[in-house]
């Protein structure tokens, strides 16, 4: 059975705190979601002429799989649909689909909307009919449907009937408050699908059950699922498509995006990057920790039989298996890691390279390094143990100037002057930033892009500092950096009594890791 995937990342997802997309970001997300194979992409909500202008910019955009949709509301109480400014703007938007939301809870109709029950039904019918007459496919979002059904099943069902009678292609049942339990959602959806076809589900995550409720709805007959990448959205977010799609397709056998599911992990990371969000590595299926094993028995079990500690092959969703290595890891675990890093090399426990890597890890962790969440630095250490680490540049000089201003805004700025050598060539440049690390990053990338243009695609997404002992200002610090090129994410670490030096170590590793992997991939 085919389950339509309706993505609302650019509309409902953008309503999440801290989420913001530029117009260019939105276009990037649209193309990424289209490549993933979703059926509908809600590109935003029309609230005025400015928001309508973004839809004008989408005219002529060619997509292979998805239909673009505009989100709007029913006409205002007491007005005709054809006279409603927002409905007219939605009708004029150069996209094939319009999503109209309206009240399905009688309490909301009378106490919030300030309308009669029949007036609300009129608004639903006429708003949908107007947009259909303007050539739009119309999907009706029945807002607060489950609360409305609990209050008055008859009236909630009347809103569904009114939408279909007016020409809606689908009616979506919305758990707008996110307060429903899966069994309730399943029972109510089953009652609706017993009378109507083409029913969708839209769940919020206020109780942490949006995915479970969405699955319950599908098992009860819903044929469209709405959600967002990583579950971003208003309050506690929406149903997470990164979880829903593989659960529905891989676990329950529904046809969602077919073989395109192998790009799910890459799509999730690309959308989070466009939203300027730090990716949650603990996400099921697509997170960096989803298939990462640390316990010795787990590592041993997965090595022998992956099914022993993995419910799905990571490659199915475009992810990869990983094991955590630390100073407490035995030589066998490090041997397995080296075999993973160098699949064409032959190793044994007594191999000098394995012994060398084990000693290096233990020695550096004794100094405060931690490789559990710094896979890129660990990979470079492995290269070093193999005597294969390539030094793409040398630091000749680094100076950092910090300008602190005692103002109410507590503003500060920094500048870095860096001199590097690439082979026999030397280059001196400077960079400015919000703080010394940002300034160093800017200066280093500016210096290296003339030698390695691909560096332009890299940027830092997270920076953390941890004090390692209690000697206050004399303490050593560990700096962890997360970087991305928009396609993948990697983490590096540095340790020093000087936070600038520790930051430089982590930043250097980040750049070298990117360059080394780019060389490997041709």
Q: Classify the C-alpha dihedral 367-371-376-382 as positive or negative.
A: positive
Q: How confident is the model at residue 297 (pLDDT cuts 50, 70, 90)?
A: low
- Domain boundary residue, one of 431, 451, 471: 451
Whether residues 123 and 194 fall in one domain: yes
pLDDT digits (tens, 9 = 90+) for 423-482: 999 999 999 888 888 899 999 989 999 899 998 888 888 888 988 865 544 568 999 999
Whether residues 135 and 196 fall in one domain: yes
Whether residues 400 and 356 fall in one domain: no
Indicate whether 509 belongs to any domain: no
Domain harbouring 423, CATH code: 3.30.160
Q: How confident is the model at residue 254 (pLDDT cuts 50, 70, 90)?
A: very high
* Lowest mean pLDDT, pick from 1-10, 19-28, 57-66, 301-310: 301-310
Indicate whether 167 belongs to any domain: yes
How big is the chain by its Cα radius of gyration, in Å? 27
Q: How confident is the model at residue 492 (pLDDT cuts 50, 70, 90)?
A: very high
Number of H helices, E strands in the chain: 17, 16
Whether residues 300 and 378 fall in one domain: yes
Q: How far apart are CA 54 and CA 4, in angstroms?
A: 25
Whether residues 190 and 79 fall in one domain: yes
- Domain boundary residue, one of 451, 481, 497: 451
154: Cα separation from own chain's centroid:
39
Whether residues 201 and 127 fall in one domain: yes
| pTM of the shown model | 0.78
Whether residues 196 and 171 fall in one domain: yes
How far from 485 is each of 287, 372, 456, 457, CA to CA, in Å? 17, 21, 9, 5
pLDDT digits (tens, 9 = 90+) for 380-409: 999 999 999 999 999 999 999 887 665 555
Higher pLDDT, 275 or 325: 275
Whether residues 125 and 211 fall in one domain: yes
Whether residues 154 and 219 fall in one domain: yes
- Please report the beta strands in 36-124, taking only residues with DSSP state E, as ranges in sequence order: 40-45, 67-73, 97-103
**pLDDT at 338 exceeding the cut of 80:** yes
pLDDT digits (tens, 9 = 90+) for 162-179: 999 999 999 999 999 999
Whether residues 63 and 206 fall in one domain: yes
Indicate whether 406 belongs to any domain: yes
- pLDDT for the residue numbered 103: 97
Indicate whether 240 belongs to any domain: yes
Indicate whether 170 belongs to any domain: yes
Q: Residue 377: which domain range?
A: 292-385
Our CA dihedral for 256, 14, 212, 205, rounded to 10 degrees, sits at -170
Closest CA to 51 of 82, 72, 29: 72
Indicate whether 463 belongs to any domain: no
Q: How confident is the model at residue 273 (pLDDT cuts 50, 70, 90)?
A: confident
Whether residues 267 and 147 fall in one domain: yes
Domain harbouring 49, CATH code: 3.20.20.70
Q: Helices (DSSP H) in 259-327: which residue ranges?
A: 264-274, 296-304
Indicate whether 268 belongs to any domain: yes
Whether residues 65 and 169 fall in one domain: yes
pLDDT digits (tens, 9 = 90+) for 113-132: 999 999 999 999 999 999 99
What is the pLDDT averaged over residues 137-146?
98
Higher pLDDT, 503 or 327: 503
- Domain boundary residue, one of 385, 418, 435: 385
Indicate whether 41 belongs to any domain: yes
**226 forms bridges with which residues in the sheet?**
6, 202
- pLDDT for the residue numbered 405: 61
Residues in the chain: 522
Task: State how many domains the chain has.
Answer: 3
């Amino acid at each position: 059975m085919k389950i339509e995937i309706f993505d609302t990342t650019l509309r409902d997802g953008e309503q999440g705190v801290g989420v913001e997309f530029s117009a260019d970001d939105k276009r990037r997300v649209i193309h990424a979601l289209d490549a993933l194979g979703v059926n509908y992409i809600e590109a935003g909500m029309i609230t005025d002429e400015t928001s309508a202008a973004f839809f004008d910019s989408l005219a002529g955009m060619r997509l292979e799989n998805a239909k673009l949709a505009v989100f709007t509301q029913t006409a205002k109480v007491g007005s005709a649909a054809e006279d409603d400014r927002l409905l007219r703007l939605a009708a004029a938007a150069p996209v094939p689909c319009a999503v109209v939301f309206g009240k399905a809870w009688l309490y909301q109709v009378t106490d919030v909307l300030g309308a009669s029950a029949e007036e609300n039904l009129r608004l639903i019918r006429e708003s949908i009919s107007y947009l259909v007459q303007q050539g739009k496919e119309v999907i009706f979002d029945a807002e607060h449907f489950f609360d409305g059904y609990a209050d008055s099943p008859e009236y909630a069902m009347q809103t569904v009937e009114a939408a279909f009678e007016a020409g809606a292609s689908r009616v979506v049942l919305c758990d707008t408050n996110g307060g429903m339990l899966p069994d309730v959602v399943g029972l109510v959806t089953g009652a609706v699908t017993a009378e109507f076809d083409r029913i969708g589900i839209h769940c919020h995550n206020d109780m942490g059950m949006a995915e479970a409720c969405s699955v319950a709805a599908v098992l009860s007959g819903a044929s469209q699922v709405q959600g967002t990448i990583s579950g971003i959205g208003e309050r506690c977010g929406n149903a997470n498509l990164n979880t829903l799609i593989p659960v529905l397709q891989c676990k329950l056998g529904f046809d969602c995006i077919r073989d395109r599911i192998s790009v799910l992990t890459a799509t999730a990371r690309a959308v989070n990057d466009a939203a300027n969000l730090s990716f949650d590595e603990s996400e099921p299926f697509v997170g960096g920790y989803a298939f990462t094993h640390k316990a010795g028995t787990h590592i041993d079990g997965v090595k022998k039989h992956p099914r022993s500690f993995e419910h799905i092959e990571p490659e199915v969703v475009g992810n990869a298996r990983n094991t955590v290595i630390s100073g407490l890891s035995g030589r066998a675990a490090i041997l397995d890691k080296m075999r993973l890093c160098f699949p064409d090399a032959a190793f044994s426990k007594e191999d000098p390279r394995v012994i060398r890597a084990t000693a290096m890890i233990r020695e550096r962790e004794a100094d405060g390094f931690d490789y559990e969440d710094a896979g890129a630095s660990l990979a470079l250490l492995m290269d070093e143990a193999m005597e294969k680490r390539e030094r793409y540049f040398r630091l000749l000089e680094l100076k950092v100037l910090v300008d602190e201003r005692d103002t109410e805004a507590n503003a500060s700025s920094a500048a870095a002057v860096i001199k590097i050598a690439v082979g026999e060539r030397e280059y001196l440049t400077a960079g400015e930033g919000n703080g010394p690390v940002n300034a160093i990053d800017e200066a280093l990338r500016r210096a290296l892009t003339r030698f390695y243009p691909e560096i332009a695609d890299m940027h830092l997404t997270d920076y953390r500092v941890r004090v390692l002992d209690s000697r206050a200002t004399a303490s050593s610090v560990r700096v962890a950096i997360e970087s991305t090129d928009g396609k993948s994410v990697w983490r590096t670490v540095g340790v020093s009594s000087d936070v600038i030096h520790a930051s430089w170590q982590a930043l250097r590793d980040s750049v070298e890791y990117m360059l080394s992997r780019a060389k490997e991939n041709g």
